């Protein structure tokens, strides 16, 4: 039995990758030095896997921004607006597609299946694919020459790539398969000629709900590829769920199948037991969770391996993670400040590799050879299970009475709407922002000084108040209608709340990539979640004291906190969501009691929690909606509840969005170029809604007319009486000058729209 890996975190132990990208973008790092720095990180990543005894090491999973963008560039699929004329894609064009430029808007960015990773959506309209270079061949050669590693190149599967792309009609799908098949074949032939033995072909789309036409296309693809490149073996890798069409999948003419035995609900193992596994194929057994940070129950994993070996011989099994380790931090070795009980139960990427090597050794050499390690793993898990943090009496009492907790506002929206109109007297087309303003180097530096003890709490609080006051003045000068305090005291929209709630822990260096160079440090929900004191009231009340305009209180919603955290594995996600919702209810009520009458409870991550199987969507949406409503249900009619969502295909969950019963919702639309607006041509939405009129993920400042066209498009299908105008998302990552310029254009576009539609402020 061999141990294998599917992908390794790109960012480096200390986010060296992020620092190199941002240094290059800012002009502080020349291109040659940039390439050299990324190569050094790439080699260290490979060496980390080699040193931990991994037998099958992936190559080509490293990227300069995003692996899907890499594949689009490798096939020359660059949108026309970037002026690409063919050939190898240079870094300026590559990063323009990802981040936008002065001349062209960035390509759309969205979630990678149901994870918190974002990929750049390939645009195929009018594209003429051609192989611009074989980056997998380069990666294979580098690993072999530098470290003697016989790597396994990682190729995004053709069907997954097309299903994640845009810019073609459904009836054009087969034509696109025909266009890309020769290029995939050329890549594989070149790898075979170099001596590559195995290629990992990632097809996570096979774990979603597919129909017979999809399966026929997949069969056509792999029959063609095995003919095109008979000299290389293909491991067809699935992950994130079970495969419904197990029999069709295992009948494909490939040499190995990778299956997820962690997130499959037991269905993949059941299929093997019922149907068997082909004797001419290798099984990639995804037994170690590639998305969670807990040490595995290794005894349970050995039981699973025993069950698999009843149908597949050990020499045809590669024990591996359930998915790429992209979704977890690099190493837990640096987390010395954590409680030893918690730290002992953690496994980041490096520790997961050690678990994989240990499982393979247990099969090859016998369980007795790893008895001490197995005992330590059991002890670590049991110590955390006994922790008082997992047995909070008040939380458990609340959960026992959950059925009697309010989960709906006291009156319907129309009644609340009238009460809110009387209270706020807002103009039609009210302007606002999503919550955060730029986190400048001064803001980040002040926070670091406070955390290090170089600044007192009083000095830091005074600094935050200065920032709030300055941005209240800016909002006043710009002419916004509803203000926010700017969230200068917050490092991250989830981490901030986790630090103030019981049941959360935080790492020193537990970073994971979210999109591009943006890394986040997800909280760890390890115990019962409990609210103990107000978290946001002081800053919000202070900001409100500086203006007569409404000041929104800003909270992160229960499902986003859940989905953007590493969640304990001894309770269901539904149970944990309700604990978070009850805790947030305490904060909502505290804000209302302090006179804050607009409260935004953001849920940007609600859609990404959707199961990959459509038949499982409704149960998830039911409890996700209930959790949101538990957190907001107890406020008075005149208190206006806002929420915000981004990175989503909202047409698929529009009914659930309505069921949240928020008074106002803001939705990201600009990166999808207004496509989401068409949802409201087919679906009636009767509450307040703001469709983002410009993209905050790009440094580009759109002009007034561009924003005006977005407003015009929305007002063709929405009643102006319900329409709000705002940016796509928070402005935390943007610079001061571009933020003010963009918001000024937004207000000017609103003024023009009010005049155009004869809409006047009260």
CA 39/CA 330 separation, integer angstroms: 17
Q: Is 17 annotated as a binding residue?
A: yes
Cβ contacts of 453 within 8 Å, gap of 6 or more: none
Contact between 347 and 332 under an 8 Å Cβ cutoff? The reply is yes
Residue 509 DSSP code? S
Between the CA of residue 320 and those of 2, 116, 366, 530, 623, what are the distances in Å?
Answer: 9, 21, 19, 36, 32
Cβ contacts of 143 within 8 Å, gap of 6 or more: 46, 57, 59, 149, 151
The single residue listed with the structure tokens 């969950």 is: 653
* Residue-level length of the chain: 762
Chain centroid, CA 149 distance in Å: 31
Structure tokens at 469: 């006051």
Q: Is 80 annotated as a binding residue?
A: no
Report which of 132, 36, 28 is spatially closest to residue 78, judged by C-alpha positions.
Answer: 132
CA 349/CA 580 separation, integer angstroms: 27
Chain centroid, CA 307 distance in Å: 33
Chain centroid, CA 59 distance in Å: 23
Q: Is 626 annotated as a binding residue?
A: no
Q: Is 111 annotated as a binding residue?
A: yes
Catalytic residue list contains 35 = no
CA 86/CA 104 separation, integer angstroms: 18
Q: Is 471 annotated as a binding residue?
A: no
Q: Is 418 annotated as a binding residue?
A: no
Q: Is 519 annotated as a binding residue?
A: yes
CA 341/CA 558 separation, integer angstroms: 26
Q: Is 18 annotated as a binding residue?
A: yes
Q: Is 518 annotated as a binding residue?
A: yes
CA 282/CA 279 separation, integer angstroms: 8
Sign of the dihedral through C-alpha 240, 243, 249, 250: positive
Cβ contacts of 124 within 8 Å, gap of 6 or more: 77, 165, 166, 167, 168, 176
Query: Secondary structure of 626-686 in the HEC alphabet?
Result: HHHHHHHCCCCCCCEEEEEECCCCHHHCHHHHHHCCCCEEEECCHHHCCHHHHHHHHCCCC
Report which of 675, 492, 523, 514 is spatially closest to residue 110, judged by C-alpha positions.
Answer: 514
Q: Is 194 annotated as a binding residue?
A: no
What dihedral angle (degrees, nearest 10) is formed by the CA atoms of 115, 120, 125, 129?
-110
Q: Is 668 annotated as a binding residue?
A: yes
Burial 308-324 (b: 16+ CB within 10 A, else e): bbeebeeebbbbbbbbb
CA 461/CA 439 separation, integer angstroms: 16
Contact between 284 and 261 under an 8 Å Cβ cutoff? The reply is no
Q: Is 455 annotated as a binding residue?
A: no
Spot the catalytic one: 485, 642, 697, 745: 697
Q: Is 16 annotated as a binding residue?
A: yes
Structure tokens at 285: 């057994």
Structure tokens at 388: 């008082």
Q: Is 116 annotated as a binding residue?
A: yes
Q: Is 608 annotated as a binding residue?
A: yes
Q: Is 435 annotated as a binding residue?
A: yes
Q: Is 732 annotated as a binding residue?
A: no
CA 625/CA 574 separation, integer angstroms: 11
DSSP string of 178-211, one letter each residue: HHHHHHHHHHHHHHHHHT--EEEEE-GGGGS---
Q: Is 724 annotated as a binding residue?
A: no
Q: Is 189 annotated as a binding residue?
A: no
Task: For the beta carbon of residue 300, count every other beta carbon within 10 angstroms.
Answer: 10
Residues in the annotated binding site for 5-methyltetrahydropteroyltri-L-glutamate: 15-18, 111, 116, 518-519, 564, 608
**Which residue ranges are tagged as binding site?**
15-18, 111, 116, 434-436, 487, 518-519, 564, 602, 608, 644, 646, 668, 729
User: Can you say which residues are annotated as belonging to the binding site for L-homocysteine?
Assistant: 434-436, 487, 602
Where is the binding site for Zn(2+), in residues?
644, 646, 668, 729
- Binding site for L-methionine: residue ranges? 434-436, 487, 602
By annotation, the residues acting in catalysis are: 697
């Amino acid at each position: 039995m061999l141990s294998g890996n599917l992908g390794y975190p790109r960012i480096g132990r200390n986010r060296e990758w992020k620092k190199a990208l941002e240094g290059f973008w800012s002009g502080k790092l020349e291109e040659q030095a940039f390439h050299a720095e990324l190569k050094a990180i790439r080699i260290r990543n490979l060496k980390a896997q080699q040193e931990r005894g991994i037998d099958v090491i992936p190559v080509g999973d490293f990227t300069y921004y995003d692996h899907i963008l890499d594949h689009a560039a490798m096939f020359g699929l660059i949108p026309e607006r970037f002026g690409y004329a063919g050939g190898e894609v240079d870094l300026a064009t590559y990063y323009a597609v990802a981040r936008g430029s002065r001349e062209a808007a960035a390509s759309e960015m969205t979630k990678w299946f149901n994870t918190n990773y974002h990929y750049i959506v390939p645009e195929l309209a009018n594209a003429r694919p051609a192989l611009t270079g074989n980056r997998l061949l380069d990666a294979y050669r580098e690993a072999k020459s530098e470290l003697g590693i016989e790597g396994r190149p990682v190729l995004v599967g053709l069907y997954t790539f097309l299903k994640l792309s845009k810019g073609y009609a459904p009836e054009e799908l087969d034509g696109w398969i025909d266009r890309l098949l020769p290029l995939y074949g050329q890549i594989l032939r070149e790898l075979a000629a170099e001596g590559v033995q195995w290629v990992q072909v990632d097809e996570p789309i096979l774990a979603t709900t597919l129909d017979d036409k999809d399966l026929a296309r997949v069969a056509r693809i792999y029959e063609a590829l095995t003919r095109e490149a008979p000299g290389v073996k293909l491991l067809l890798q699935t992950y994130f769920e079970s495969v419904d069409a197990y029999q069709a999948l295992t009948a494909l003419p490939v040499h190995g199948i990778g299956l997820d035995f962690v997130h499959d609900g037991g269905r993949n193992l059941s299929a093997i037991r019922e149907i068997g596994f082909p004797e001419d194929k290798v099984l990639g057994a995804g037994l170690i969770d590639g998305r969670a940070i807990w040490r595995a129950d290794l005894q349970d994993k050995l039981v699973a391996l025993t069950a698999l070996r009843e149908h597949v011989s050990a020499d045809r099994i590669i024990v591996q993670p359930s998915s790429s380790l992209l979704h977890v931090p690099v190493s837990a070795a640096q987390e010395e400040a954590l409680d030893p009980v918690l730290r002992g139960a953690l496994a980041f990427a490096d520790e997961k590799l050690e678990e994989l090597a240990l499982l393979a050794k247990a099969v090859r050499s016998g369980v007795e050879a790893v008895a001490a390690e197995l005992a330590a793993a059991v002890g670590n898990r049991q110590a955390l299970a006994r922790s008082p943090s997992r047995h909070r009496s008040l939380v458990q009492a609340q959960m026992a009475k959950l059925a009697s907790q309010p989960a709906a506002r006291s009156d319907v929206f129309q009644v609340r709407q009238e009460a809110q109109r009387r209270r706020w007297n807002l103009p039609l087309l009210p302007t606002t922002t999503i919550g955060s303003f730029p986190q400048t180097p001064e803001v980040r530096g002040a926070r670091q000084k406070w955390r290090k003890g170089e600044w007192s709490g009083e000095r830091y609080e005074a600094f935050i108040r200065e920032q709030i006051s300055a941005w209240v003045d800016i909002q006043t000068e710009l002419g916004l209608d509803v203000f926010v305090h700017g969230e200068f005291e917050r490092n991250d929209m989830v981490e901030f709340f986790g630090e103030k709630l019981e049941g959360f822990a935080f790492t020193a260096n537990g970073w994971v990539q979210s999109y591009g160079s943006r890394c986040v440090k997800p909280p760890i929900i390890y115990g019962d979640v409990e609210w103990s004191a107000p978290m946001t009231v002081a800053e919000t009340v202070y900001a409100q004291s500086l203006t007569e305009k409404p000041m929104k209180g800003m909270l992160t919603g229960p499902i986003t906190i859940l989905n953007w955290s590493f969640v304990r594995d001894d309770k269901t996600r539904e149970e944990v969501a309700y604990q978070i919702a009850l805790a947030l209810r305490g904060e909502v009520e505290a804000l209302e009691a302090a006179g804050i009458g607009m409260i935004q409870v953001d849920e940007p991550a609600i859609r990404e929690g959707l199961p990959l199987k459509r038949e499982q969507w409704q149960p998830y949406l039911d409890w996700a909606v209930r959790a949101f409503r538990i957190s907001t249900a107890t406020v008075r009619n005149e208190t206006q509840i806002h929420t915000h969502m981004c990175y989503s295909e909202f047409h698929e969950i529009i009914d659930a969005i309505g069921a949240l019963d928020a008074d106002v919702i803001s939705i990201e639309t600009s990166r999808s170029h207004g496509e989401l607006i068409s949802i409201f041509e087919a679906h009636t939405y009767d509450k307040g809604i703001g469709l983002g009129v410009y993209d905050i993920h790009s440094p580009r400042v759109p002009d007034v007319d561009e924003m005006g066209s977005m407003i015009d498009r929305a007002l063709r299908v929405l009643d102006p009486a319900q329409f709000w105008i705002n940016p796509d998302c928070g402005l935390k990552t943007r610079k001061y000058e571009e933020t003010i310029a963009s918001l000024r254009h937004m207000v000017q576009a609103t003024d023009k729209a009010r005049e155009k539609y004869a809409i006047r402020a009260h």
